[in-house]
């Protein structure tokens, strides 16, 4: 078996698959080659690492190859086709070793002294192709419907295979940015203002015919349309965000504005509010936008409760694209144009970054508050431990940016949409916090871990 680069190219690792039929070798040329162990013929070449590959491992069923590199990432690949499946980022130095403790679980050890556990191998339960490019996506309150906002309107689709229900398509001239289904499933409120259509107001549409339910939710001032709109958890309020820097609360019954949230000025791209979300109990609203400031308001009085300062990077203040409340907790998550999501402790005002390689477009907490999902223009949706801000895994998409991520109400599903026409529902039974991973490991180990083993393999984290 002759390595194509010749004897002058060092081989840094080699391993057999479990059947003994294939050998994988890693070289300093940044590639991994999978060979036929009997004939010496090259079966697959894996390329994509930014530096030399330091370790290789086959999954227990030999369907997946994991690789680690000096570029500080581990990656997973289809062992037959060579297609890249995921990129695992989080180490601060080169990765010296990796292994599969069990199917769907990878352990990596880095020169930074960290040992990390990763969940991989998300199962795709359903794939949908909306009729137009997707801006935002969510589950209905009962978890049975996918609600998709597209460049041509709103689509409601049952995602479970064999449901036999056709998509409800509600065209909206000019398209919509967001679509929020009322808890009873009878109404959808949409926000549609953007740079080429700055005056578009929010609208409430009936399901399933898409006819307007009353007049638009119009705010005075030219170019002061609603970028986003959402129902409160109980359906008794609607919040809209506007280009003048303020949000508004509305009655979905009278279509009248009830309260203004935040300062107001002339509508412009520099002041536009891009997202607003209710807390799970409906008592607060958080807003974010072009100024990078995060504000929290009391819904009953409209009084501002918190103002979190913007993050400042090399290019100045970073625009914020999305915001989410932690269910039952004190954290607030924001998604920034600077490639960072931030986890804020609202009480202490301390923040922790969740790093992507490009603008973060979407952020969501799992219903139990233990996980954070983020979507980015770097093409990845990532999972994080909300308690530690540690990365738990990556759902690596193609070159297309991820436009939106959302958890199902039971936390067992994750829906991911890209900026084109692809929406996937993933089985999130594999999702879990670091504590969940430790419990999984304990189920496979017949003895308690020593303190040193806990430090080595679990980073000293408490379960």
The per-residue pLDDT for range 326-379, each reduced to its tens digit, is 998 899 999 999 999 999 999 999 999 998 889 999 999 999 999 999 999 988
The per-residue pLDDT for range 223-261, each reduced to its tens digit, is 999 999 999 999 999 999 999 999 999 999 999 999 999
Name, of 152-166, 387-401, 402-416, 445-459, the range with top average pLDDT: 402-416
Sorted by where each begins, the domain ranges of the chain are 11-119, 123-431
11-119 shares its CATH topology with 123-431 = yes
| CATH superfamily label, 11-119 | YVTN repeat-like/Quinoprotein amine dehydrogenase (2.130.10.10)
The per-residue pLDDT for range 54-82, each reduced to its tens digit, is 999 999 889 889 999 999 888 888 888 88
Per-residue tokens: 159 = 């995602």
Tokens 């109404």 label which residue? 187
Query: 383 pLDDT exceeds 90?
Result: no
The per-residue pLDDT for range 175-209, each reduced to its tens digit, is 999 999 999 999 999 999 887 889 999 999 999 99
pLDDT above 70 coverage of the chain, percent: 86
Query: 9 pLDDT exceeds 50?
Result: yes
| CATH superfamily label, 123-431 | YVTN repeat-like/Quinoprotein amine dehydrogenase (2.130.10.10)
Q: What is the Cα–Cα distance from 65 to 310, expressed in whole angstroms?
A: 41
Rounded to 5 degrees, what are φ and ψ at 116? -120, 145
């Amino acid at each position: 078996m002759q390595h194509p680069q010749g004897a002058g190219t060092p081989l840094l690792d080699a391993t057999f698959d479990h059947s003994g039929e294939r050998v994988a070798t890693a070289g300093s040329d940044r590639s991994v080659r999978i060979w036929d162990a009997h004939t010496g013929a090259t079966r697959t070449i894996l390329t994509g690492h930014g530096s030399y590959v330091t370790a290789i491992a086959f999954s227990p069923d030999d369907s997946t190859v994991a690789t680690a590199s000096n570029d500080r990432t581990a990656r997973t690949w289809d062992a037959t086709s060579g297609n890249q499946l995921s990129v695992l980022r989080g180490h601060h130095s080169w990765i010296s070793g990796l292994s599969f403790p069990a199917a769907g679980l990878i352990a990596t050890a880095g020169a930074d002294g960290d040992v990390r556990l990763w969940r991989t191998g998300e199962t795709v339960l359903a794939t949908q192709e909306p009729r137009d490019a997707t801006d935002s996506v969510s589950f209905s309150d009962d978890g049975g419907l996918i609600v998709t906002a597209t460049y041509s309107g709103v689509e409601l689709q049952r995602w479970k295979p064999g449901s036999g229900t056709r998509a409800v398509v509600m065209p909206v001239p000019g398209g919509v940015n967001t679509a929020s289904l009322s808890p009873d499933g009878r109404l959808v409120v949409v926000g549609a203002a953007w740079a080429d259509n700055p005056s578009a107001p929010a609208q409430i549409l009936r399901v399933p015919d898409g006819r307007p339910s009353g007049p638009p939710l119009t705010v005075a001032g030219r170019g002061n349309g609603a970028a986003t709109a959402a129902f409160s958890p109980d359906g008794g309020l609607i919040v809209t965000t506007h280009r003048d820097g303020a949000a508004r609360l509305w009655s979905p019954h009278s279509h009248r504005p009830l309260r203004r949230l935040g300062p107001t000025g002339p509508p412009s791209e520099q002041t536009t509010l891009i997202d607003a979300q209710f807390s799970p109990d409906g008592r607060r609203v958080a807003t974010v936008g072009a100024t990078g400031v995060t504000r929290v308001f009391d819904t009953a009085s409209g009084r501002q409760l918190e103002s979190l300062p913007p993050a400042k990077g090399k290019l100045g203040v970073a625009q914020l694209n999305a915001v989410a409340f932690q269910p039952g907790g004190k954290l607030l998550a924001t998604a920034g144009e600077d490639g960072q999501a931030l986890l804020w402790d609202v009480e202490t005002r301390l923040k922790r970054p969740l790093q992507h390689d490009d603008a973060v477009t979407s952020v969501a907490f799992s219903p139990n508050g233990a996980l954070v999902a983020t979507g980015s223009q770097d093409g990845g949706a990532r999972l994080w431990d909300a308690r530690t801000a540690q990365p738990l895994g990556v759902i690596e998409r193609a070159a297309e940016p991820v436009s939106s991520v959302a958890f199902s109400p039971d936390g067992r599903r994750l829906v991911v949409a890209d900026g084109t026409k692809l929406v996937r529902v993933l089985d999130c039974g594999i999702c879990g916090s670091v504590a969940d991973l430790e419990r999984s490991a304990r189920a496979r180990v017949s003895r308690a871990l020593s303190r040193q083993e806990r430090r080595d393999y679990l980073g000293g984290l408490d379960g």
